[in-house]
């Protein structure tokens, strides 16, 4: 195996042109079973393992570990810190990186729903386009594919005003994830309307995104309606050895209700405060 370290964009671009791959996470990829002939290591990139605070955003290096993110989030995005606590075990969180966990997509992804709700963006470069560009974290699209490198992630600071809760249903803590859901909400000071977003993964091949802006009283009804619409859109729930389609759909419904219940508690307290 050829292994080089890149610490500048030029070195990285040069490595990509020579056919080196950037591997984020998935240490098993380097084992006997998944031979990789050329690997470029970007751990020495400036701030690769740092979380840097800017006036409008927090910027995360791609090899920031989940443990690091969790420790940071405690003071900045408590909902994210709580959610991260339910991902794997401390051993896994010490090793797993944010970019690795997100870039190795899977339908039952657990980090994706939270990071998506936070409005995370990814700084991407590719062999064809050496100019790095910020793109919104989405489950599909130009973020993924061969020769793409995630150089950084950023979370807008406006996220701080949002509240977020995460729910995870799994066969076993380390693996066998069945359904994950995250909800975030924000109340407008001007008109009292609440903007609720939910991302549920594990039901369909692609995590589904629900978004409703409403007065508190109508909110649950609208979310449920949107969820039913998703189910009726012809999307086929995943049916595999981990869980049946029927069970996934049922669990997603339960997760949805629980998340709604959590945020309704918040609304009630908000209304009382108001």
Partner 1 sequence: MERVERRWSLSAQARYAVDWIDRTPGLVAGVLEAHRVPAVPHVTNLEELRGLPGIHAVVTATEVPATRFTTAGQPHKEPSPYDMAIINRVVRYMGEPVALIAAQTQDDLRRCLDRAIVEYHGLDGPLHASCPDNVLARWSTHIGESMGPIAGDGTMVTVQRQSHLQLEPHASMAMIEPGGRLVLWTTTQVPYHVRRIVARALECPASQIRVVATDVGGGFGSKQEVIVEPWVALLARLTGRVVKMQLSRRQEFLLGRTRHSATLRVASLWNGQNLSAMHLEVDVITGPYGGHGSSVAHNMALKTLPFYRCPRYEFDGQVRYAVGPVAGAFRGYGGPQGAMAVETHWDEVARRMGMDPAALRIGSLMQEGDPLDVLDPINDRRRVFRGDPIQDLIQKCLDAAEWSAPRGLNEGLGLALSMQASGVPQAELAMVRVVLQEDGMLWVTTGAVDMGQGAREVLRSIVADAVGISPRGIRIVPGDTDLEAFDYGTYASSTTFVTGSAAQKAAQQVKRQLQDLVDILPWRSKSQGPWGGYTIEELAEASFYGPHRRPVVGLGVAAPEQSPAPVAVLVAHVHVDSDIGQVTVQRLVAGVDVGHPINPIAVQGQIEGALAQGLGYALCEEVHVSDEGHVLTQSLRDYAYLSAMEMPPITVILTDTPDPDGPMGAKSAGEVAVAPVAPAIANAIYDAVGVRVRDLPITAQKVWQQMAQSQKSWATCELIKQQD
Q: Which residues of this protein are in contact with partner 1, per CB under 8 A?
A: 1, 3, 28, 31-33, 35, 88-90, 169, 171-176, 178, 241-244, 247, 250-251, 254
Residue 56: CB minimum distance to partner 1, A: 37
- State the distance between the two ends of the chain, measured CA to CA, in whole angstroms: 63
Shortest distance in whole angstroms from residue 233 CB to partner 1: 24
> Residue 235 carries which DSSP code?
P
| Cα distance between residue 65 and residue 162, in whole Å | 23
Q: How far is the CB of 35 from partner 1 (least distance, A)?
A: 6
Q: Which is nearer to partner 1, 160 or 171 (CB)?
A: 171
218 contacts: CB under 8 Å, gap ≥ 6: none
Which CB sits closer to partner 1, 111 or 122? 111
In the bound complex, what is the minimum distance in angstroms from residue 189's beta carbon to partner 1? 35
Nearest of 53, 142, 67 to residue 97 by alpha carbon: 67
Nearer to partner 1 (CB atom), residue 196 or residue 251: 251
Contacts of 122 (CB under 8 A, 6+ apart): 99, 102, 134, 135, 136, 137, 143, 150, 152, 153
When the beta carbons of 198 and 251 are compared against partner 1, the nearer one is 251
């Amino acid at each position: 195996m050829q292994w080089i370290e890149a610490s500048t964009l030029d070195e990285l671009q040069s490595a990509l042109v020579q056919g080196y791959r950037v591997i984020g996470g998935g240490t098993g990829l380097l084992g006997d079973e998944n031979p990789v002939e050329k690997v470029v290591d970007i751990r020495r990139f400036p701030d690769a393992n740092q979380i840097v605070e800017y006036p409008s955003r927090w910027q995360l290096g791609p090899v920031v570990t989940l443990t690091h993110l969790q420790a940071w989030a405690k003071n900045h995005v408590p909902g994210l810190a709580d959610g991260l606590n339910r991902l794997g075990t401390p051993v896994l969180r010490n090793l797993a990186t944010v970019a690795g966990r997100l870039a190795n997509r899977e339908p039952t992804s657990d980090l994706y729903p939270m990071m998506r709700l936070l409005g995370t963006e990814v700084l991407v470069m590719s062999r064809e386009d050496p100019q790095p560009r910020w793109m919104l974290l989405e489950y599909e699209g130009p973020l993924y594919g061969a020769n793409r490198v995630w150089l950084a992630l950023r979370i807008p600071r406006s996220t701080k005003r949002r509240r977020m809760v995460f729910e995870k249903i799994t066969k076993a803590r380390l693996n066998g994830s069945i359904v994950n859901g995250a909800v975030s909400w924000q109340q407008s000071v001007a008109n009292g309307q609440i903007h609720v977003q939910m991302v549920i993964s594990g039901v369909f091949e692609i995590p589904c995104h629900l978004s409703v802006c409403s007065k508190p009283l109508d909110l649950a009804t609208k979310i449920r309606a949107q969820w039913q619409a998703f189910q009726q859109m012809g999307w086929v729930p995943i049916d595999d050895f981990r869980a049946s389609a029927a069970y996934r759909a049922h669990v997603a419904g339960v997760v949805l209700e629980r998340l709604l219940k959590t945020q309704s508690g918040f609304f009630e307290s908000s209304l009382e405060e108001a």
